[in-house]
Structure 1
């Protein structure tokens, strides 16, 4: 018998393949111009892009953002290729929602990735709203154990759930449950939006729940509202109406500035190259999440993913060189490197 949760994973991928406009390509980071240095007083090969996240060293501050998981050969291929590439290039990886492994046990294979990425950062993922629908500490532990994860995303997706035909929309009183889970789990819990951004009020609630890592995941890139629009059968345009709803990622980073000394922030949503990554680090991101540009390569091979990651590494390194920043700390929160915001 078919599992609806599992089927959704493939429906999401097919919607992205059929409709290129699910990637909104808003290019919000283009509004920030950086201060070019014609005399950087550095050699390009002196640039050190290394950083540390969740107590592990990464080659540069890239996170392969959450995409998928489930009982399907395409999904297995995607996650396996992403994990192999993450390990080979020394970057972090987060998986898609692991809820499916509790409704379709064969889906666990798509999340058993530590064998392909023995040393790099891996982050598990379950929906925070599922804490109101029977999921709890045991399932969270199981999700982390299956992945061999260094942390666990609790993703927040009220817009997606509101548009999704079978969406779970009871987001009431989640903060207390998040706090209890974060206290009991052996690995850090990270709060993550899925493409509409986290507001200062959201960050405040997270901090009071003991959360110290936030993936801001703003608008500008993949629109899950538009993806879910393709799954509706009632003729409603609700998903299109809200396809660009939310806080642009660079604005979300600015809004998070007062909390920078109390938490670490991941910038994701609409980042497309190494220049966007450099701007994100300047605005306060400890890590930069990218998903959409890696999905098609992941369907092809691990080598194709590695090629894309190495492209972004070259771009990020070159941006640092042209800013006169020898290492990531010289870039991080250095607002003097922003020439102007258009």
Structure 2
């Protein structure tokens, strides 16, 4: 690792905090999806059960704070505030890519939040491009041990790497390498995208590789092509051309959930508890939220807690208005799918009758 890596991490933090880096025209598709209202839900709002679990850890709500940062002192401040908020409400937290901490022990502290959040589901994070270099099982284990994690996500980010000037674009043989590493790691490993979605066919490959969960991380939220374009003040067209590249989160969530029998996390542009409820009605067991919490985290842990409380209450209200007592019932509730998203469902071979029930 060069000295450029911590500076790149700081660039990413500043860019995500200060610039418009979300998808411009590509959307999650949730705007075309409606939950069907039940005028007499026949349940008590206060008795709705939101608890879930992941990798053996109980969660009081089906929410994970998506990985965003680390590798710079500014990142530690953000991670601490996120961890304290997650501890207060007992939801999950994933740290940003730990490559910087692996290669420079002085940066390990920017990821370490277990003392701040002793009870939460805490997830590590590494990028698969490093697996095609010199990262073997020992470094994956080191990342888990570094933060006393309950598991680790390996992220696929070919779009970002292709746009980033320093990008590592050798993805040849990646799935075989991932499978080999997972087979040698005792802790649970999940596989995820970083804002461009996952198809059903690739999800099946992930299962064969040994993934214990999949985070679809679809189009509609943070665009890492956009982040790299803004960060570099690029004069080339590639970042602009591919800013909205990817499979919308709603479509990716549905097709992956239909395909695999392991937990599916829906993330990428989920901005409200209503979005989250729609994602779970499409089959997700958990939802991930990144940029909104990243931005409020600089205001302190109380801002994180307040944002999460409102988000969780929105999930609860959506469940109440559909007569869903728990997440399992929400996954069986009726949907109306319209417009461009409906066309995408059809073109991807998804069973509309399954969701319209």
Q: What is the TM-score of this pair, normalised by structure 1?
A: 0.95
Q: How does 1:153-172 map to 2 (within 5 A)?
A: 153-172=153-172
Q: Is residue 123–residue 151 contact of structure 1 (8 Å, CA) maintained in 2?
A: yes
Change (3 A) 1:105 1:18: same
1:63 matched to which residue of 2? 64
What secondary structure does 1:254 align onto?
helix
Report how far residue 2 of structure 1 moved: 7.1
What secondary structure does 1:138 align onto?
helix
1:89 matched to which residue of 2? 89
Question: What per-residue deviation string (whole Å, max 9, x for no partner) do you get for residues 8-40 of structure 1?
Answer: 111012222332243548352111011101101
Q: Is residue 21–residue 224 contact of structure 2 (8 Å, CA) maintained in 1?
A: no
1:330 matched to which residue of 2? 329
Q: Is residue 24–residue 221 contact of structure 1 (8 Å, CA) maintained in 2?
A: no
Change (3 A) 1:102 1:56: closer
Report how far residue 324 of structure 1 moved: 0.3
2:241 matched to which residue of 1? 241
Q: Distance in 1 between matches of 2:122 and 2:10?
A: 22
Q: Distance in 1 between matches of 2:75 and 2:211?
A: 30
The answer to whether 1:308 aligns with 2:299 is no
Report how far residue 48 of structure 1 moved: 1.1
Change (3 A) 1:159 1:340: closer
Q: Distance in 1 between matches of 2:2 and 2:162?
A: 23
Q: Distance in 1 between matches of 2:20 and 2:105?
A: 32
Q: Distance in 2 between matches of 1:139 and 1:212?
A: 19
What secondary structure does 1:125 align onto?
strand
| Structure 1 residue ranges without an equivalent (≥5) | none
Q: How does 1:131-170 map to 2 (within 5 A)?
A: 131-170=131-170
Question: What per-residue deviation string (whole Å, max 9, x for no partner) do you get for residues 96-153 of structure 1?
Answer: 1000112332210011111111111111000011111111111111100011111111
2:320 matched to which residue of 1? 321
Q: Is residue 157–residue 193 contact of structure 1 (8 Å, CA) maintained in 2?
A: yes
1:220 matched to which residue of 2? 220
2:298 matched to which residue of 1? 299
What secondary structure does 2:288 align onto?
strand
Q: How does 1:217-296 map to 2 (within 5 A)?
A: 217-232=217-232, 235-260=235-260, 262-296=261-295
Question: What per-residue deviation string (whole Å, max 9, x for no partner) do you get for residues 269-298 of structure 1?
Answer: 010010011111111111100011111211
What secondary structure does 1:20 align onto?
coil
Give the length in aligned residue pairs.
338
Q: Distance in 2 between matches of 1:222 and 1:234?
A: 18
| Structure 2 residue ranges without an equivalent (≥5) | 340-357
Q: Distance in 1 between matches of 2:257 and 2:338?
A: 16
What secondary structure does 1:12 align onto?
helix
The RMSD of aligned alpha carbons is: 1.6
Question: What per-residue deviation string (whole Å, max 9, x for no partner) do you get for residues 35-82 of structure 1?
Answer: 10110111211111111111111111111000100132x211100000
Q: Distance in 1 between matches of 2:162 and 2:23?
A: 19
Deviating more after overlay: 28-37 vs 18-27: 18-27
Q: Distance in 2 between matches of 1:51 and 1:24?
A: 33
Change (3 A) 1:106 1:263: same
Q: What is the TM-score of this pair, normalised by structure 2?
A: 0.91
1:31 matched to which residue of 2? 32
Q: Distance in 2 between matches of 1:113 and 1:278?
A: 29
Q: Distance in 2 between matches of 1:106 and 1:71?
A: 10
Q: Is residue 71–residue 108 contact of structure 1 (8 Å, CA) maintained in 2?
A: no
Report how far residue 191 of structure 1 moved: 0.5
Report how far residue 210 of structure 1 moved: 1.3
Report how far residue 341 of structure 1 moved: 3.0
Q: Distance in 2 between matches of 1:175 and 1:249?
A: 22
What secondary structure does 1:149 align onto?
coil
